[in-house]
Structure 1
């Protein structure tokens, strides 16, 4: 059986903080996209809908990255 080299805790913390920044950016860009689409198509629900989808996408991405880091 082959041993995998252990990642240092500091490296894991840096990777997870980068994932958190990516999560925030994804949500913010989803908000901006929804706001722009609301203005273009004269709707009032796209900002909330796309922001919510961006939150789910960001959470999914964060969980995948956290699982990959902890392997």
Structure 2
């Protein structure tokens, strides 16, 4: 494997780490809300989180569905 190929692979590492952190925090918030019995999100929040997931998945091609 050449160095340039490794650079391309590792260039996505920071994006992957940010996505993993956001998914981890969102999962913990949902579990906490479920255990406490309080609603965590309203309808407007779901629209925002859906758009956020589209933006975070931009390198994977999911952002193209918005156009």
Q: Give TM-score, length-normalised by structure 1.
A: 0.44
Q: Which has the larger radius of gyration?
A: 1
Greater RCO, CA 8 A, separation 6+: 1
Q: Give TM-score, length-normalised by structure 2.
A: 0.46
